Amino acid sequence: MMNMGLDEQTDTFQWTKPMELFQGKKVVKVCAPMVRYSKLPFRMLVRKYDCDLAYTPMIIADSFVKSLKARDNEFTTCKEDRPLIVQFAANNDLDFGDAATIVSPFADGADLNCGCPQRWAQQEGFGACLIHKPDLVHNMVLQTRNRVDNPDFTVSVKIRIHNDIRDTVNLCKSLEAAGVSWISVHGRTKDQRNQPVNLEAVKLIKENVGIPVIANGDIKSLEDIEEVKKLTGVNGVMCARGMLQNPAMFAGYDNTPLQCLKDWVDLSLKLGTAHTIFHHHLMYMSERIMSKAEKRIFNTLPSTPAVLDFLQENYDVKYEKG
């Protein structure tokens, strides 16, 4: 049905179910859904460094449902890739419910993207435009929740905030009534890019719902996590760019350790990663490690073998040539 990566799922590997993660006082540390980047090899990398929960990149639900090729291309996992949330872009309850049902034997939850600010997505009725359609999103969550048989399978939503935060609070209350498992909140509106994250808005949402809330936006260190938790009371934090620059951030590293680079090379070669993505990840990870002169050379390397040779010669990152 779809590419299962290293192994078919089995019952021998034990993992913590998503809702159990939220039961303690510990802040749940989440790797965000990132287009092109949060695929299987990167998810497996961050899991080595104290990431509690990982998302797939956003997948277009209707294509995923209709096309076997799309499923094989967009969704690759393995038995150790847990707990796993599959994020979908959808504009109706049928597509979202169908897509969630398809992945339910292989993942721990489905997430509805209501936060993507890109114009193409909103023109298709996906992403951030959905926060202005609360009745539709309520029904998408409700119908999907009712369709998936597994009671441990979560249905979550990732949102941006409205200009009037009261609208966001009302949306979140509606989603709670629909049975949503948790809500991830990027504390900016769909039109904001570099403005500071509105932590007051996140705090207000948390105070008005009884379900877990995950804060997203501008979290780049354990100190940021502690500060966001203190200011908002959220149950979890979700990181994107901070994780690209330092996949070991959740384990307390200020910069990407050399071992993390080695782990990325091993996982990428083992699982298969296109050169562009393999190289881009390393460019992010080495941003604070390499000198300007090294970056000028490294960033123009044309192939995976060239990248591997550079890492071995300059950083003793060894690999087995197959």
Catalytic residue annotation? 116
Q: How many beta carbons lie within 10 A of that of residue 32, not counting itself?
A: 25
Could you write out the three-class secondary structure of the chain?
CCCCCCCCCCCCCCCCCHHHHCCCCCCEEEECCCCCCCCHHHHHHHHCCCCCEEECCCEEHHHHHHCHHHHHHHCCCCCCCCCEEEEEECCCHHHHHHHHHHHCCCCCEEEEEECCCCHHHHHCCCHHHHHHCHHHHHHHHHHHHHHCCCCCCEEEEEEECCCCHHHHHHHHHHHHHHCCCCEEEECCCCCCCCCCCCHHHHHHHHHHCCCCEEEECCCCCHHHHHHHHHHHCCCEEEECHHHHHCCCHHHCCCCCCHHHHHHHHHHHHHHCCCHHHHHHHHHHHCCCCCCHHHHHHHCCCCCHHHHHHHHHHHHCCCCCCC
Q: How many beta carbons lie within 10 A of that of residue 102, not counting itself?
A: 19
- Does residue 179 contact residue 134 with C-beta atoms inside 8 Å? no
Neighbour-count burial of 24, counting CB atoms closer than 10 A to its CB (0-12 exposed, 13-18 middle, 19+ buried): exposed
Determine the Cα–Cα distance for residues 182 and 317; give it in Å rounded to an integer.
40
